[in-house]
Structure 1
Amino acid sequence: MATSIFPGEKPDRLEEECAVFGVYSTTDDVARLTCFGLQALQHRGQESAGIAVGDGDTVTVTKDLGLVTQVFNESALAALRGEVAVGHCRYSTSGGMGNWTSAQPHMSAIDEVLIALAHNGTLVNTNRIRADLISKGVEFRSNTDSEVACQVIGYYTRETHHLTEGIKTAMEMIDGAYAMVLASPTALYAFRDPHGIRPLCLGKLPDDRGWVVSSETCGLDIVGAEFVRDVRPGEIIRINDTGISTLQAIEPQEPRGCIFEYVYFARPDSVIDGQSVYQARRNMGRILAREAPVEADLVLGVPDSGVPGALGYSEASGIEFTDGIVKNRYVGRTFIQPTQEMRQMGIRIKLNPLPSVIAGKRLVVIDDSIVRGNTSKKLVDMLRSAGAAEIHFRIVSPEVMWPCFYGIDTANQDQLIAANMTNEEMCEFIGCDSLEFISLDGLREAVGDAHSKTFCEACFTGEYPVALPDSITKNAFLKKS
């Protein structure tokens, strides 16, 4: 599936909110390394980008709306000098670009000392914490949960007189999914929620030049850092001129890493919990061929995330794999207002079938997920127009039945096609000849080499690892008698 590129249209896939990156080095250009790291993580958020640098005395932040390469040029990076940096790229769930104040990193003052925080995930109890902080005189510039986290860390650091204790107190108070990096003038901090829902890993620069933390290992790769380990759930890592230290700030809970990272969110060249994302996706295709076989002539993957699964399906089924759909790689998210005619053709701006390859053929089309179904329907129409004889949709994730509240853009169950239609009704709506999804057991098998044997699967099962307040759920679920 392709993300909607038109304003006002809901994207027809689950959208990650953001990525975080951090560097501590006394010898390297930490802002430049962070810029490259964010470019490697750009797939996780394309609406704003920011970098904050600590120089021993203060913290300076540059952030704006747009892609990393639009926000940062040589002069912007040259102004960011120091030994510690944190960076962020963001995808908002508010339906538009948002505004500058929602861009990260967020800043907070601890007396005369500034800190900057970048956050991947979503907190579920910030309304209460925000109200408490406002009653204590804390001022807010945005309505983001990330700023609440930054301000609560700042507030309790002033009370405890130690930043690590301020972070620890904040972690004891906040609920939800978070992987965070924080820069003080002299140190880099990294910490995760006790379930480890969102990914975060630690790497080391060559020749003991410094340390790197990243949402994914592909961020380490681009700066030449060697993967050391994942940041443990509930752990705080601090890196400064004395080296690296760790604190198990809160008791880790049953691991619940987001299983959708393997399906779609993560880059295929990343490794999460010891499992290659690319190999997991290829495994999904192999298992799907076993669970949902069909007679066909060709296997196609919807670029890009459906391609590894299509290769696996082809390998296991013996049906030839082909590149039958071309992706325009130079079109990202755009907010240029389209005409109605352009809106109707929508998906063709990103994807275009090859009639010379698919005309007269029975196709197995592999995609990562179906959320709202609109893009799948448009894709089937395109393939029919290109002459496909049959179209058999095969999806390498189970039916998305429940909204996510931990950093993914699905706020209401009535937006999810699988929660509102039977398989037969979905098949008819999309217009394909058959439609099958991998089973949840099959998906678990595909990522079975991961060290974490339990995952957050709430979007498939409705079983949420972190309790949700009524203020979040009251309008989120279908009201069925």
Structure 2
Amino acid sequence: MKEPEIDFVAIKNIKTFIIRMIKDFWILMGGIIATCRLTNDTNNEKSVYRVYRGMQLLQHRGKAYWKISSGKFEISGYGSLPVFKTIHEKVLRHENDPMYAIVGHLSKKKPITRRLEKINFALDGFFVDLDKLLTHPLMKRRNYEPLSQIHYIFRELLIERKDPYKAAEFLDRHLRGNYVINIENEIHVFRNSTGFKPLFLGKDKDQNDFIITSENYIGSFFPLLDLKEINPGQLIRINSKYGMDILTQLDKNRILMDPFEFIRESHVSSVFNDKSIYSIRKNIGNVQAQFLSSKIADADVILAEPDYTRPMALGLNQGFKNNKKKIEMMEGIIKDRYDDSDPMIDYSEQVSKNKLLSNGKTLKFIIEPITNKKQILSVQGTIQTGGTIIETVFYLKRSNVSKIHVIVSYVPTVDGRQVGLYTQQKDLISRKYIGKISYIDDLNREIAYELGVDSVFFNSPEILSKGIGVRESQLWFPEWIRFLDYK
């Protein structure tokens, strides 16, 4: 199979840009003033003036770059804000373009590229971990500016996938401060969960406007404006027709847990949330089976391998039966615990004619009457390099099975630390698809081809968290995995 091509020029360009951004991250510190009018009776001149007046009050401490934008309307400059007459002349050219939502932005330096000037957003703070954007499944490979990437990914999660929580969490991973953006005449406001920078929202009852500002003293200059602080971790939408609503609130005091503890590391008798790890593992399989019941229509036998997947295999069996699928759960493939120094190896080989010596230390055997011409569902805890499952597939095919499906209880492994591999191991089977695959469906198809099986189904963060019985936000996943899901 031909591996995906790596655009080394693109990677070099984006790394160069990231280095520049890291060195100059402070230039993003700025001020915000934004308004959204709630009536159809718009007065562009009056609305733009309110933003302009607010920016005059905020322009201090070296904030030389300024920009006012609303859809097609945009004006910016460097230095002190000019007299309003200059801005007014440009406003008049947009008389037929009602400005329901207007964003004003101040910062110490102007954007590095012209492309950033075209985005109707304001930022009070800075972005971190920009190198992690290289691993995000929604990243546009031909766009090298991290800030443009952040805007694009945020919009994709919020508007296209209609997932406000993931959109907010994505910003929260990278943003230290506040972010306000105008998307199709709707103002979206996010304050990061640490509350690093203040942010306030008020409604001017006299003018029927919402106003967002990074400084609460602005309220002293606007009559009838009741400013209230926006909660950290809150994503708010303001629409000219429907007013203001809170799209989501990130969990406070989140404790991130390693999901692999629930898959393999914790002892089966351990207890979490008044449930044994054994029962949690069964439920992981049950939930996964309910999701996959429409995708796997022809399996006859479930084979658990290795031993810690047995509870999940039992749960899969239960989940499929609840969906009226007749699947038998068997331990048809096992890995012996004996090595060459143990005389039991010789004894077991002599007694069991159908055992095949796979290497010097382990034995695998197939119960052929069960597997012959059957459609097999192999349950794997995780697939790291693919070595174990490739060996399993080799013996399954020798036992004359008709189809092989693989279900992986864990999410795709792209970092050895996820599963306790504190080594320099780099040949993890999913690693080559980081940042190149947008959906787990695509990853499943590629890895099934590599393994030579009929299908592969990795678990997703959403399904795994449901099986464990916690919110997805309480589990720790790398960037690529956290935002990778089924179509």
What TM-score results when the alignment is normalised by the length of structure 2?
Answer: 0.40
* Structure with the higher fraction of residues in helix conformation: 2
Rg larger in 1 or in 2?
Answer: 2
What TM-score results when the alignment is normalised by the length of structure 1?
Answer: 0.40
